[in-house]
Structure 1
Amino acid sequence: MKWTVLGCHSPFPGPGGATPGYLLEADGKRVLIDCGGGVLGQLSRFMHPYDLDAVVLSHLHHDHMSDMFVLQYAIMTARKLGKRANPLPVWAPEQPEGWHVKLRYGDHVRLHPVAEGMEVPFGERLRIRFHRTDHSVPCFAMVITDGRHTILYGADSGPDTDWPRMAEAPDLFVCEASFLHRDLPKEPVGHLSARQAAEAAARIRADTLLLTHLFPEYHPDEIRREAAEVHPRCLVAETGLVVLAGEPM
């Protein structure tokens, strides 16, 4: 399975960057996982956005979904020009309801809800299973498998997220590192530090940890050093980075 980082910043993008979005390529399918600000421009470096097979949104916060409202235009235009025949399937949480209903766009988007424990097939072998995380709105981590390898995408997640019930020894664990540990708020806010992400990776025996959801003013080396003290097989996300699940770092 091929995982391409299209955006990895939050709560806003740094220069030339984007907020969270990832292109998953597996089993002959191309699925966009989250669709934050600037993601479509980055996606266009690799493919036409209207050629996507599906979009899956972990939750409905702006930094993970804002480019959906531009993607709607791309799908509509492609269908009118005969470049795409079918509506775009989109999976997303039903809450907050006000944002969920805005994901519909005439007959150009086919909207599906996600729920705890739900598993959705994409192609013959590719499967995505959803699990709630510790966050301020309904947010779903994704266990992604093609029958040979497993990616656990953690989405936004606080320290009370129950990682072991989701996956054991995933090939790739994509986990947020919103803070350096020194900057953690005194009260949990549904986000993790780089150290906490590494501790979660060690707990589930993840082969490779990909740190993402990064404050753009942090230096990547500082993020990497903090995590590597706990889980040495770690990468720091950057725009355009490609990781093959199950392949050596």
Structure 2
Amino acid sequence: MSFDVTVLGSSGSHTGPGRACSGYLVRADGAQLLVDCGNGSSANLQRVTRPEDLDAILITHRHVDHCVDLIGMFYALRFHPSGPQPIELYAALEVVDTLTGLLSHDSALEFREVFHVTEVTGGDRFDVGPMHVELADAIHPVPTVSCRVEVDGVSLVYSSDSAGGPALVELARGADLFLCEATWQGDGEGYPDGMHLTAREAGRIATEAGAHRLVLTHVLGSLDRNRSLAEAQETFSGDLALADDLRSWLLI
């Protein structure tokens, strides 16, 4: 049995130098789950696996830095040399309407033929091979889900975009690896409420949840990421790292 996650994009809100936006490939015992598909992440995906070999995709919300590359994926799968390659798509509310709104009428109709859509919200659960996926609603301006993926009692938790809160702490409880957004730096003053976390807040949530490892992701593309790492160390004393595109972590 194996269980790992590869970062396909780690930049928050917009791309950064050599960094794509949110995307993560989670694999266990041959099964492959793509979580989010932001700007540029599908190019990195194809350095690791083929889109048609994915077993399922989870899109956590409709903001383009988490979903827009699904448009390119649609065309790659729809016009595959071997014919259309359908894939299960678990999507938060409003995701599909946002994406199909970017397509022509005929392509919008075909979108659901390529992606077999299941709309999801907090409390939903589904399985992809040996991976059991549990979702929780995240605090964010649009419908958003955080996710917990478990394999044989080992857990990976991904915050997606979130302003934190008790539901995220509970979802991340005892996580073996907590992939948490840390969009901002400093004390958060001057930033809008209910949108994102600072690096210190990410560390604080990981500590409260008793997470074993914390990986900071979704750091704003223009920021000094080493400062984010230093600020998270002020509130989290465990194993801490920054997400880098194409870096992988082995859980089992």
Fold similarity call, TM over 0.5 = yes
Inter-CA distance 221–127: structure 2 relative to 1 (3 Å threshold) = same
Q: 1-side partners of 2:147 and 2:220: how far apart? A: 22
Displacement of 1:101 in angstroms is 5.1
User: Is 2:224 the partner of 1:222?
Assistant: no
Q: Please say if 1:240 is aligned against 2:252.
A: no
Is the CA contact (8 Å cut-off) linking 1:159 and 1:188 kept in structure 2?
Answer: no
Q: What CA deviation, in whole Å up to 9, does each residue of 1:65-94 have, x standing for no partner? A: 01000000111122xx21x66411110012
Displacement of 1:163: 2.3
Q: Counterparts of 1:105 and 1:96 in 2: how far apart (Å)?
A: 12
The answer to whether the 8 A contact 1:159-1:192 is kept is yes
Match of 1:200 in 2: 205
Partner of 2:5: 3
1:18 matched to 2:23: no
Alignment partner, residue 105 of structure 1? 111
Please show how residues 9-158 of structure 1 align to structure 2 within 5 Å. 9-78=11-80, 81-82=81-82, 86-95=85-94, 98-99=97-98, 102=101, 105=111, 107-123=113-129, 125-158=130-163
Q: Give the drift of 1:167.
A: 3.7
Answer whether contact 1:27 1:146 (CA < 8 A) is retained: no
Contact residue 39 and residue 69 of structure 2 kept, 8 A = yes
Identity of aligned residues (%): 28
Tell me the amino acid that sits aligned with residue 42 of structure 1. Answer: N
Equivalent residue for 2:183?
Answer: 178
Q: How many residues align?
A: 242
Q: Is the 8 A contact 2:126 2:132 kept in 1?
A: yes
For structure 2, which runs of at least 5 residues remain unmatched after alignment? 102-107
Contact residue 130 and residue 142 of structure 1 kept, 8 A? yes
Which region of structure 1 is more displaced relative to structure 2, 98-107 or 209-218?
Answer: 98-107
Describe the shift of the 1:183–1:196 C-alpha distance in structure 2 as closer, same or farther (beyond 3 A). Answer: closer
Bigger fraction of residues in strand: 2
Contact 2:78 2:84 in 1 (8 A): no
How far residue 161 of structure 1 moved from its aligned partner, in angstroms, is 4.9
Paired with 2:127 and 2:164, the residues of 1 have a C-alpha distance of 29
CA distance in 1, matches of 2:54, 2:123: 25
223-232 vs 198-207, greater mean Cα deviation: 223-232
- Whole-Å separation in 1 of the counterparts to 2:212 and 2:161: 20
Following the alignment from structure 1 to structure 2, what is the Cα–Cα distance between the partners of residues 117 and 31?
19
Match of 1:105, SS state, is helix
Q: Do the aligned residues in 2 keep the contact of 1:92 with 1:100 (CA within 8 Å)? A: no
Distance in 1 separating the partners of 2:167 and 2:213: 19
Give the distance between the partners of 1:129 and 1:100, measured in 2 at CA: 24
Q: CA RMSD in A?
A: 1.9
Q: For the Cα contact (< 8 Å) 2:23–2:66, is it kept in 1?
A: yes
Sort the Cα spacing of 1:40 and 1:97 in 2 relative to 1 into closer, same or farther, 3 A: closer
C-alpha distance 52-159 of structure 1, shift in aligned 2 (>3 A): closer
Q: Distance in 2 between matches of 1:96 and 1:196?
A: 27
TM-score, normalised by the number of residues in structure 1: 0.91
Alpha-carbon distance between aligned partners in 1 of 2:94 and 2:78, rounded to the nearest angstrom = 25
Question: What amino acid is the match of 1:72?
Answer: F
Q: Does residue 166 of the first structure (1) align with residue 171 of the second (2)?
A: yes
* CA separation of 1:161 and 1:100: change in aligned 2, threshold 3 A: farther
Distance 2:135 2:100 in 1: 20
The CA deviation at 1:231 is 1.0
Note if 1:209 corresponds to 2:214.
Answer: yes
When normalised by structure 2's length, the TM-score is 0.89
Given that 2:77 and 2:85 are in contact with CA atoms closer than 8 Å, whether structure 1 keeps it comes out as no
Is contact 2:52-2:85 (8 Å) kept?
no
